[in-house]
Amino acid sequence: MNTLLNKVLLLQNTQALVCAVSSVQSQLLTTHMALGVLLTNRQYRSMPTHGIGKYRHLLPKALPKKKKDRVQVKQIKAATATEFGVFNVCVSGYDMTLVEHYSQYIHNLCNHLDIKVDESYALPTKSTEVMLMQEQGTKMYLDAVLKTHERIVQISEMKATLFPIFMDVVLKNQPEGVRFCVKQHSETDFQARFKTRPELEGLLAKINN
Amino acid sequence: MRYSYENVASSVVAVRHSHWFTSVLSLKTSMPLRAEPKKKKKVDPRREIMMKERLKKKLKRLEKVPPELIPIEDFITPAKCFDETRIRDAPKLCFEESERRALLLKEWSRYKYSQHQTEMDTINEALEAQRQALDELKLESEELYKAALSPDMDLFPFQHEGPSYTPPVTNYDAPEGKYNDVTRVYTQ
């Protein structure tokens, strides 16, 4: 046992000596040579000071920065025996505040009733020019420019039993001048949000021809 | 007169004799037209293949770029709002006015809370009634119960217009006119 201890001590001593020597050497070398040439961060894994100076594991994990929040193409879930698939609740009207507040109300109601809301987005505004015929003469003149705003709340996996109650509540609270519409979500609806790409379509037509 | 006729005849005869003018009365065909059709060289199908490959490469490059969403004009504040000359400070209220406003807010929040409560109560009652009815139906017949649970697709699409202060007047003689859709079309 004694011999073992002695051996261990000897080992430790030699290691300490080696460390000392190396540190002295490294000091000497660093003083003589240029900085940054011999800066070694050697890990002394058997020493109790192993890992001294590490701090990166204590910082909060910084996720790699996402390049852009691209709108992902999600698979449209079909309806099951007791639940609806993905459907869009579309609120549209001329008055933006009413439309927005109504869509927010619907969203909050869904949150309260534990209805899963996939997405809540706005469709681009449509501008309509109202041209009226003049009383005398045949010329048309511009009367007004009406802007139709649209907001969509996309709901998925809603229980079929809850649906009529939900519709009742939502219709009871419908403000004036706002059109409420429910329809199934389709690929065309999804593609309507994106800009048209005439070059791509032209190329596809050429290749097919 | 006769002289001219003879001349014409001689010229016609002269034309017939030369080998370059095959026929006077029929169509005048030139040398390239009368030549044999060009032989199809092997370069042509290769050229077509090259063209197709080029188009496919272009298509790949275009497809790599993801489609962009159309920007929504509602969310872009108009430049008029950034005009600094139009900023003004909030009006200074007297003590009673601010007190009145605070108390009004509290009243309003109490009213809205009671509204919300009644709504949630009605929803819960309706759900409870539905659950009881479905339980009874289950005892009656399994098939009808399943049919009741299944989603009703005939509802889509559903549309409903909100109530209006000024509904359309009957027998109204509207002035003539038309609607023009002037939405800005964005292309990528």
How many structural domains does chain B have? Answer: 1
Greater model confidence, A117 or A83: A117
| pLDDT at residue A93 in the model | 93
| pLDDT at residue B134 in the model | 93
In a domain, B135, yes or no: yes
Residue in chain A nearest B167 by alpha carbon: A177
B contacts of A205 (beta carbons < 8 Å):
none
Mutate: best of B60, B115, B144, B160, partner A, most A CBs <10 A = B160
- Show the domain range for B117: 94-148
The segment with the largest mean pLDDT, out of A19-33, A137-151, A193-207, B116-130, is B116-130
Radius of gyration of chain A (CA): 35
CA distance A21 to chain B (A): 59
Task: Name the DSSP letter for residue B187.
Answer: B
State the Cα–Cα distance between residues A114 and A157, nearest whole angstrom: 11
| Per-residue 3-state assignment (H helix, E strand, C coil) for B121-138 | HHHHHHHHHHHHHHHHHH
Query: Does A143 contact B at CB distance below 8 Å?
Result: yes
| pLDDT at residue A148 in the model | 94
Share of chain B above pLDDT 90, in %: 28
| pLDDT at residue B96 in the model | 96
A contacts of B155 (beta carbons < 8 Å):
163, 182
Residue in chain B nearest A129 by alpha carbon: B180
pLDDT band at residue B109 under the 50/70/90 scheme: very high
In a domain, B124, yes or no: yes
pLDDT band at residue B18 under the 50/70/90 scheme: low
In a domain, B164, yes or no: no
The segment with the largest mean pLDDT, out of A96-105, A181-190, A192-201, is A96-105
pLDDT band at residue A153 under the 50/70/90 scheme: very high
Q: Region B30-35: what's the mean pLDDT?
A: 59
State the Cα–Cα distance between residues A27 and A36, nearest whole angstrom: 13
Query: Does B166 contact A at CB distance below 8 Å?
Result: no
State the Cα–Cα distance between residues A15 and A42, nearest whole angstrom: 14
pLDDT band at residue B174 under the 50/70/90 scheme: confident
Q: A61-65, A117-121, B38-42, B179-183: lowest mean pLDDT where? A: B38-42
Residue in chain B nearest A82 by alpha carbon: B150
* Residue A134 amino acid letter: Q
The segment with the largest mean pLDDT, out of A11-20, A24-33, B29-38, B146-155, is B146-155
If you average pLDDT over every residue of chain A, what do you get?
Answer: 82
Say if CB A106 and CB A89 are below 8 A apart: yes
Q: Region A25-50: what's the mean pLDDT?
A: 68
Query: Does A56 contact B at CB distance below 8 Å?
Result: no
In a domain, B118, yes or no: yes
Residue in chain A nearest B176 by alpha carbon: A133
CA distance A109 to chain B (A): 10
Nearest to A49 by CA among A19, A81, A77: A19
The answer to whether A207 contacts B73, with C-beta atoms less than 8 Å apart, is no
Query: Does A122 contact B at CB distance below 8 Å?
Result: yes
Q: Which of residues 59-98 of A touch B (CB under 8 A)?
A: 70-71, 79, 81-84, 87, 93, 96
pLDDT (tens digit per residue) in B69-107: 888 888 988 888 888 888 888 899 999 999 999 999 999
Query: Does B187 contact A at CB distance below 8 Å?
Result: yes
pTM: 0.69
| Nearest-CB residue to B74 (from A112, A149, A203) | A149
Buried b (16+ CB within 10 A) or exposed e, A72-91: eeeeeeebeeebbbbbbbbb
Describe the strand order of the beta sheet including A117-133 as a list of residue ranges: B158-161, A178-184, A86-93, A140-156, A117-133, B177-181
Q: Region A176-186: what's the mean pLDDT?
A: 91
Q: A159-163, B28-32, B51-55, B67-71: lowest mean pLDDT where? A: B28-32
Share of chain A above pLDDT 70, in %: 77
pLDDT band at residue B35 under the 50/70/90 scheme: low
Q: How far is CA B147 from CA A19, B141, B150, B167, in A?
A: 81, 10, 5, 39
The answer to whether B68 contacts A195, with C-beta atoms less than 8 Å apart, is yes
Mutate: best of B155, B164, B173, partner A, most A CBs <10 A = B155
| pLDDT at residue B188 in the model | 82
In a domain, B75, yes or no: no
| pLDDT at residue A32 in the model | 53
Bridge pairing between strands B177-181 and A140-156: unpaired
| pLDDT at residue B9 in the model | 47
Report the length, in residues, of chain B.
188
| pLDDT at residue B27 in the model | 58
Greater model confidence, A9 or B8: A9
State the Cα–Cα distance between residues A171 and B162, nearest whole angstrom: 8
State the Cα–Cα distance between residues B54 and A53, nearest whole angstrom: 57
Q: A151-155, B38-42, B176-180: lowest mean pLDDT where? A: B38-42
B contacts of A129 (beta carbons < 8 Å):
179-182
In a domain, B182, yes or no: no
| pLDDT at residue B120 in the model | 94
